[in-house]
């Protein structure tokens, strides 16, 4: 069979997690319209077994958006993304605008010039780009002469994703099956549960408490007909705690309810979910807190 590791990189909010979920046919990476939603590298495993020579396993690594860090958490996320694409067989670089629109893509392009790995440029959101804009983006990046392929897709609608997969497979070599055929991620359920809660926080809070939130599962007990989960939402300021809880606790109840419904779908069982809110000031610049929340490049 053919097998290999593929890094998905790009600026924040260009659709990396959406592409991964579309490839796998199920949600393993949280998605919101807010930049820097992804904090950890998330491995998604695509396996096709036909019992013939064209069996294939692709391990996609969805990385945090590469950006100029403003705190230690940002530095961790950017370093993780850069380390990832230096250790894979193929790099998928996603853009959704012209390079001249901002410094983020220029920075990534400079990094890519120094690697030997084949790089596919993927122009995402073609369902929203007009033909003229798509042409400008295509020609601007094509002129750099550093990409193996340039492909336009809509990750949200699945358009041309099959074309992208076929092109990637064409570059992979024969190798082992790294993971069992029936799993789509090597992350434990607890990790995905905590990410689901964090996604609901981001969705419910809009811009009020943008990214100073971390989730910690204090308890996780599986019983015959129900899983009992106790989670803590950590925020950086006392004022944020009140915003998260909301008037008469309504916001926190909404976060808990929507998270519980999705977690029940993930686990296939009833879920009793309790959520508390605690303050841990400036945790994004605290090495001990970052390590405690699982943000550590040395792990």
* pLDDT above 90 for 125: yes
pLDDT digits (tens, 9 = 90+) for 13-62: 788 888 988 998 877 665 555 444 444 567 889 999 887 678 999 999 87
Q: Are residues 16 and 149 in the same domain?
A: yes
pLDDT digits (tens, 9 = 90+) for 136-180: 999 999 999 999 999 999 999 999 999 999 999 999 999 898 888
Give me the CATH number covering residue 237.
3.30.300.20
What rounded mean pLDDT belongs to the chain?
82
- The secondary element (H helix, E strand) that includes residue 95 is strand 90-95
Q: Are residues 36 and 133 in the same domain?
A: yes
Residue 102 CB-half CA count within 13 A: 12
Q: Are residues 243 and 113 in the same domain?
A: no
Position 239 scores a pLDDT of 83
- Of 183, 214, 230, 181, nearest in space to 48 by CA: 181
Q: Are residues 150 and 31 in the same domain?
A: yes
pTM comes to: 0.67
- The secondary element (H helix, E strand) that includes residue 141 is helix 131-142
- Of 235, 238, 254, 237, nearest in space to 246 by CA: 254
pLDDT digits (tens, 9 = 90+) for 80-96: 666 666 678 999 999 99
Q: Are residues 152 and 199 in the same domain?
A: no
Position 290 scores a pLDDT of 62
Average pLDDT, stretch 132-137?
94
d(C-alpha 231, C-alpha 229), whole Å: 6
Q: Are residues 219 and 148 in the same domain?
A: no
* pLDDT above 70 for 299: no
């Amino acid at each position: 069979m053919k097998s290999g590791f593929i890094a998905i990189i790009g600026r924040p909010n260009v659709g990396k997690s959406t592409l991964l979920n579309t490839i796998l046919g199920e949600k393993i990476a949280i998605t919101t319209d807010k930049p820097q939603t992804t904090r950890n590298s998330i491995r998604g495993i695509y396996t096709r077994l036909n019992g013939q020579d064209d069996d294939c396993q692709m391990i996609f690594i969805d990385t945090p958006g590469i950006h100029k860090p403003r705190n230690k958490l940002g530095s961790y996320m950017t370093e993780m993304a850069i380390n990832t694409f230096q250790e894979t067989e193929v790099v998928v670089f996603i853009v959704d605008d012209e390079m001249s629109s901002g410094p983020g893509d220029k920075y990534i392009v400079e990094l890519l010039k120094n690697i030997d790995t084949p790089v596919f440029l993927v122009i995402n959101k073609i369902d929203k780009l007009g033909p003229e804009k798509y042409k400008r983006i295509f020609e601007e990046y094509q002129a750099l002469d550093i990409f193996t392929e340039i492909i336009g897709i809509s990750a949200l609608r699945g358009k041309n994703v099959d074309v992208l997969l076929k092109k990637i497979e064409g570059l992979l070599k024969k190798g082992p099956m790294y993971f069992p055929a029936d799993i789509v991620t090597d992350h434990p359920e607890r990790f995905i549960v905590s990410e689901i809660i964090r996604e609901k926080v981001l969705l419910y809070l809009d811009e009020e408490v943008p990214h100073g939130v971390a989730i910690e599962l204090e308890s996780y007990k599986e019983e015959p007909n129900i899983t009992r989960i106790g989670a803590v939402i950590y925020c950086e300021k006392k004022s944020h705690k009140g915003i998260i809880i909301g008037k008469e606790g309504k916001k926190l109840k909404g976060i808990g309810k929507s998270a519980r419904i999705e977690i029940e779908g993930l686990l296939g069982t009833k879920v009793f979910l309790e959520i508390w809110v605690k303050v841990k000031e400036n945790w994004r610049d605290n090495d001990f807190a970052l390590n405690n929340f699982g943000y550590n490049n040395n792990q």
